[in-house]
Amino acid sequence: MIPTIALNNGATIPVIGFGTYQIPDGSAVEHAVAAALSLGYRHLDCASAYDNQTGVGKGIKKSGVSRSDIFITSKVWVTDMGYHETLNAFEKTIHQLDTDYLDLYIIHWPKPNSRGCYQALEELYAQKKVRAIGISNFKPHHIREMIEGEPVVPAVNQIEYHPFLPQDETQQFCQQLGIRITAHSPFMEGRMFHVPALAEIAARHKKSVAQIVLRWQIQRGIITIPKSVTPSRMEENLQIFDFTLDEEDMRIIASLETGERSAPDPDHMPF
């Protein structure tokens, strides 16, 4: 059983989820989602921009796991950022996923007109069509600008987060507001697997580098969403609750910070 944590509105979310980014729509994502659910994942991270939500929905049905047992996140893309556009995008998303609600609906990237989009999310939340709302790739100044005067504080901020980029300032700011951090790109597109210090820690614990990175995130209070289409690796990524990194391990990992990103800097997106 994967542990869960409470969000600021009382909803609970599994601390590790299955990412669906860059898995092709159709049989590939359908089989991957069904496999993930069969292994015990109960948190799926989706987005309209991934162009595979129809396959995700079919994978859920194929798995036989009850919808009520699955936490589904989706994201609204930058082309749908207006109030009415966001409401329309939501209807399209739940149709693709073959569900009548989302557990978490978030804004994929900050943009100057995010306020109307966020107000649409608040409306969906008030109507109980989503159980929680959130944001992604937002820095503190983006959050301040968007939520000023708004009645609902985001439950989650999904950001790039790995040993090279722990984003302490954003994490601390979000903690002050009760916003949970979810880590996307936890392995920095595979670069974490080639860091000698992580390999040494992995060897000491008889774990993989992937497991060390995910465990580090969990111990820092981070929700994480690794992605793999290989069942053995999907299973491996779940086996992170039977060991603990000690203070020296955490110190070594903290020393790896470089500020490098695999995704664009949110302040320099061409939107």
Contact 106, 136 (CB under 8 A): yes
What is the DSSP track for 163-212? TTB--HHHHHHHHHHTPEEEEESTTTTTGGGG-HHHHHHHHHHT--HHHH
- Give the separation between CA 212 and CA 244, rounded to whole angstroms: 9
For residue 68, which of 80, 79, 60, 76 has the smallest C-alpha distance?
A: 60
Contact 114, 143 (CB under 8 A): no
Q: Residues 70, 5, 192, 105: is their CA dihedral positive or negative?
A: positive
Distances (CA, A) of 103 to 14, 37, 45, 156, 217: 11, 16, 10, 12, 22
Of 41, 50, 105, 125, which is the active-site residue? 50
DSSP for residue 64: T
Q: Is 50 a catalytic residue?
A: yes
**Contact between residue 78 and residue 109 where contact means Cβ atoms under 8 Å apart:** yes
Where b means 16+ CB within 10 Å and e means fewer, 155-172 reads bbbbbbbbbbbbbeebbe
List the one residue out of 166, 189, 169 whose CA is nearest residue 258: 166
Query: Binding site annotation covers 108?
Result: yes
**3-state secondary structure (DSSP) of residue 216:** helix
Annotated binding site for substrate: 108
Active site residues: 50
Annotated binding site: 108
